[in-house]
Structure 1
């Protein structure tokens, strides 16, 4: 059976930065046997261990620069400056996986959902909520293939 990990990250206290975790909450409601989810405020090198045993990983994050309402892209293992910091990029996390396990990481995608307001204490903006619903609908259709 195909094993899929959805990893939503972002800070729920910073308005639209909550888009990643919110999408993962929504797709958890589908209760698909192929789907596992993980939510955290940021990616850290320790999360490399969480990627083991999956055929595919989808990272979900808010972004101020992506197309409206959302954008998918492939992610490949790549060493960047973030691997030495507390928070890492998806590419650096895949690179860390590759270094630890001495094998390629699972194929990965990055789903960036357009956000607008990221100040501490902000609520989810109306525009970001609309983008979240569009992403959720698209992901639901995609996940129906797991059944």
Structure 2
């Protein structure tokens, strides 16, 4: 089995309200990619979900043409921000969570390989308390982000993704 050219990594905790946005979008995307209307498209993507990004996720970037990180953000512009991520080696890796930029930098440190072009989709959330459900606003933001995700999957090329950038967080 060959490696999918595009990896999509989503993080979040489904038990913490709007922090579930990443896993929810990943599940929706998986179902959409496997639907009959997306014949063959699913083979181009590997979807990986976790509670937070760790140094080990750098290994998921090896050999990829393109990478996307999906997360929820409390201070993010609504409904979401889609931007390019650059490797920033600002901290030594630890067992604690890392931002996407640090995950990208880890790859160069451990593999002597430049990371693939990478982007971040940060979806606006409002409530992140333990035991909360998804807020009404986060549901609307997830719907808008999902429309973008479908567009990105239909045109999984760096230039097409750069044209969709919406700015920084």
Give how far 1:82 is off. Answer: 6.7
Deviations 1:86-129 (A, max 9, x none): 11111111111110110101110000000000000000001001
- What is the match of residue 12 of structure 1? 14
**Residues 15/72 of structure 1: CA separation in 2 closer, same or farther (3 Å cut):** same
d(CA) in 2 for partners of 1:36, 1:63: 23
Report the aligned-residue RMSD. Answer: 1.6
Q: Alignment partner for residue 118 of structure 1, among 105, 123, 128?
A: 128
Query: Is the 1:60–1:110 contact (alpha carbons within 8 Å) kept by the matching residues of 2?
Result: yes
Find out whether 1:98 has 2:100 as its counterpart: no
Q: Partner of 1:84: helix, strand, or coil?
A: coil
- TM-score of the aligned structures, taking structure 1 as reference length: 0.93
- Indicate the residue corresponding to 1:27 in structure 2: 29
How many aligned positions are there?
146
Work out whether residues 73 and 125 of structure 2, in 8 Å CA contact, stay in contact via their aligned partners in 1.
yes
Q: Which runs of 4+ in 1 moved over 3 A?
A: none
Distance 2:61 2:113 in 1: 12
- Range with bigger deviation, 70-79 or 84-93: 84-93
Gaps of 5+ in 1: none
2:163 aligned partner: none
5+ residue gaps in structure 2? 35-41, 157-169
Query: Quick check: 1:28–1:37 contact (8 Å CA) kept in 2?
Result: yes
